[in-house]
Amino acid sequence: MPNVDEVTVVIVPFPAHGHLNQLLHFSLLLSTRSGLTVHFASTASHNRQAKLRLQGWPLSSLSSIHFHDLPLPSIPSPPPNPHSPYSFPTHLQPLFDSTDLIRSPLSSLLLSLSASFRRLVVIHDHLISLDCFEAAAIPNAESYTFCGPSAAFLCEVEQLMKQGNGLEELASPEFIRFIERRRRDVITSSGFIINTCREMESKFIDILALQGDFLGKPIFAIGPLNPVPMHNNTNISRDECLEWLDGHPPSSVVYVSFGTMSTISDEQAEQLASGLRRSGHRFLWVLRDADRADIFSFESTSRQLPTGFEKAVEGVGKVVRGWVPQLDVLAHQATGGFMSHCGWNSCMEAVSCGVPVMAWPMHSDQPANARLLAEGLKVGVLVRGWDRRREVVAAERVEEVVRMVMEGEEGRSMREKAREMGEAVRAARKDGGSSKEALDVLVAHWKR
């Protein structure tokens, strides 16, 4: 007999770290609400990946979520190609395509859960097809589309589609075809959930509400989804990069990371190394290749830097070749600037921590995100314009941008704007804040 007091929420993420990360944070946030039972449905390896890279929450919090391992056949896991004509991670396309294979087991899971609860709420990543759910026509269920990118990028995509222009400059042809297939899936969504807030993107949220699939549907802007403030992680062993940051003054270190889906060429790595050294500023540089489909077999890179570089910068700079807890790094008092690819997770984490960004977009939503931070919010600076994306950024430009953010009046103004925006974004999640109110309305609707 269905539980008349509870609503069960099933989260279905897309199997790439940035997507897993956002929806795991959202799952944990929902699990703190009474009357909700939260389920997280992905493949076994990606459930494990999401748990392994948990940030900002104690490990014990994972026990509040029911994880479901959806079966997936073995798929190719080729290495990334730093010399590809596309900066986009084309090596992950077999993984992306394989998400079609989870439809049947997902449908079975949803049917089973719907029989045990008064209401079933399905929240699926916008890149996951839910046609199996629609076909089942579960009477006590409703679905919501989770949009991981910024509202600014979603508006840009809608505009490009209206103009008949494609996304050829932002992604690979294979991924564009994948997106087009997803857009053709007829999903009767009850609304859209976005990891953003009105304090950052009010204009774009309002524009989006009048566009395409969003027209006439409620949009719930509930970000940032990453925890603010950070939860106590005393039961997690501290990463060595945080111990290294402990030894440096407040706001003195430039954090350099291009995320889990980007790989730079050897030539670019050499120019970046030279520019960081010439700037004279402290830095923590995560130099790793993009994730493969199987992150557990291929976690780091043996990428070589100019001979003697790491010894020459010892004490001032640190190079890390594996994954690091980025949220902890950005929240550390020693971090004063962030050189980033501008994936939306990185943007939201940097802004919520009040850290200015040196924006270096590479593909997908990143150019739109970079413009939002640098030109819209004034909390960052573009390392290079998107029109010069195929050029190697010279050491001189790297040095110039680092000095611009970390020194002088222009840098002081940028850092102050970042601090103010961080306070506003964190307030959005508190009582009376725009994101807290949006989530309250959404949960109340589920419990009706």
Structure confidence by residue, pLDDT tens digits, 13-28: 999 999 999 999 999 9
Domain boundaries, the chain: 3-228+427-446, 240-426
Please list the active-site residues.
19, 125
151-210 pLDDT tens trace: 999 999 888 877 766 678 888 889 988 988 887 765 678 999 999 999 999 999 999 999
User: Topology of domain 240-426, per CATH?
Assistant: Rossmann fold (3.40.50)
Identify the three-state secondary structure at position 301: coil
Give me the CATH code for the 3-228+427-446 domain, please.
3.40.50.2000
Measure the CA angle with vertex 56, ends 301 and 50; round to 5°.
55
Residue 407 above 80 pLDDT?
yes
Q: What is the percentage of the chain residues whose pLDDT exceeds 70?
A: 92
Identify the three-state secondary structure at position 425: helix
- CA 14/CA 127 separation, integer angstroms: 6
User: Using 50, 70 and 90 to split pLDDT, how confident is the model at 235?
Assistant: very low
Burial readout 379-408 (b: 16 or more C-beta within 10 A, e: otherwise): bbbbbbeeeebeeebebebbbbbbbbbbee
- Averaged over 408-413, what is the pLDDT? 92
98-143 pLDDT tens trace: 998 998 899 999 999 999 999 999 999 999 988 766 656 788 999 9
